Copies of this chain bind each other. A is one copy, B any other.
Amino acid sequence: MKNPFDLKSHLASENKRIDAALRQLLPGTSRIAEAMRYSVMAGGKRIRPVLCMAAAEAVGGKGEEVISAACAIEMIHTYSLIHDDLPAMDDDDLRRGRPSCHVAFDEATAILAGDALLTMAFQVLSSLPCHEGTQALQLLEIIKILSVAAGCGGMIGGQMRDIASEGICLSQEALVDLHSLKTGAMIKASVLSGAVLGRGDREQIEQLGNYAKHIGLAFQVADDILNVEGDPALLGKAVGTDETRGKNTFPSLMGMAESKAFAGKLIDNALSCLDIFDSKGEPLRAIAIYIVERKK
């Protein structure tokens, strides 16, 4: 899987743009504003907003036209991390190498900062400049796509299943289902949002949805592999935690070699969904490969 596209510098410049836009959307000196900014600016990989912008560009749109929507997606992602880390949930004290929001602030502030980020995402989406009715219809469509993906039939439903299944042995099918909700739904929604805002046609949107489904699952398989083989210093968090907690993971279920082969197969499938795209699809191709090759 050779790729002449320089993903490293693409990601660096995209992350810079996204971080600048996020910082502008998150001003204020109140405690809640500080907690929101603390978690959003903690330096995530920004995979979801980058995917949103890359999908918009793949269908002929411009990344800068969707950057606010991309930021809204990152806010939804960050809120989910803040709430997942809470003592009543995964009880994680560290996130991205720094104290989790409820450790750095307090539990009440972390709950409210998560709530506020989720709410602000919809404020950002509904405040986008919109001069024509057709643009308004597109914005409503992505608000629908993202709220369905983030809700109890998507990410939240996946988190519920994840909590319920700790210590219980899942089938491979059930594990795939769990992750298609917990992480897959929002990754797919990120790609689709970009494709819709970039005014992709029906076939493009369908192929991008399939692409996203494959990379979303591959992303989780790779995460599970990193939790076994990764470097804690690079990851910014402890490894081996899935096993300690009795979590269902792809390596524990199908073995390490099979898991790696599965991730590779998913990426091959994702790449073939991009066949209809010209060179504007390069960032999406490179991201697919990066997802399984990343070290953090």
Interface residues of chain A, those whose CB is within 8 Å of chain B, are 28, 30-33, 36, 79, 83, 86, 88-89, 106-109, 111-112, 114-116, 118-120, 122-123, 125-127, 130, 132-134, 136-137, 139-141, 143-144, 147-148, 150-152, 156-157, 159-160, 163-164
**B116 engages A152 (CB within 8 Å):** yes
**B107 engages A88 (CB within 8 Å):** yes
**B123 engages A151 (CB within 8 Å):** yes
Given A143-B143, A147-B119, A108 contacting B89 (CB threshold 8 A): yes
Q: How far is the CA of A137 from the CA of B109 in the complex (A)?
A: 34
Partner of A133, one of B30, B79, B136: B136
**B122 engages A122 (CB within 8 Å):** yes
Given contacts A33-B152, A118-B119, 6 further A-B contacts (CB under 8 A): A89-B108, A109-B160, A119-B152, A130-B140, A132-B133, A133-B133
**B32 engages A116 (CB within 8 Å):** no
Give the residues in chain B near A83, CB-CB below 8 Å: 111-112, 115
Q: How far is the CA of A139 from the CA of B123 in the complex (A)?
A: 12
**B31 engages A116 (CB within 8 Å):** no
Give the residues in chain B near A140, CB-CB below 8 Å: 126, 130, 136, 139-140
Q: How far is the CA of A125 from the CA of B32 in the complex (A)?
A: 26
Chain B residue nearest to A164 (CB atoms) is B31
**A160 engages B36 (CB within 8 Å):** no
Nearest chain B CB to A197 CB, angstrom units: 14
**A30 engages B109 (CB within 8 Å):** no
Given A83-B111, A147-B123, A156 contacting B32 (CB threshold 8 A): yes
Partner of A115, one of B28, B156, B163: B156
Q: How far is the CA of A116 from the CA of B109 in the complex (A)?
A: 19
Q: How far is the CA of A126 from the CA of B157 in the complex (A)?
A: 20
Given A136-B133, A143-B126, A144-B127, A119 contacting B151 (CB threshold 8 A): yes
Nearest chain B CB to A78 CB, angstrom units: 13
Give the residues in chain B near A160, CB-CB below 8 Å: 30-32, 109, 112
Chain B residue nearest to A79 (CB atoms) is B115
Q: How far is the CA of A147 from the CA of B81 in the complex (A)?
A: 21
Nearest chain B CB to A10 CB, angstrom units: 31
**B156 engages A119 (CB within 8 Å):** yes
Partner of A108, one of B33, B137, B163: B163
Q: How far is the CA of A159 from the CA of B88 in the complex (A)?
A: 21
**A156 engages B112 (CB within 8 Å):** yes
Give the residues in chain B near A151, CB-CB below 8 Å: 116, 119-120, 123
Give the residues in chain B near A79, CB-CB below 8 Å: 115
Nearest chain B CB to A100 CB, angstrom units: 14
**B109 engages A122 (CB within 8 Å):** no
Give the residues in chain B near A147, CB-CB below 8 Å: 119-120, 122-123, 126
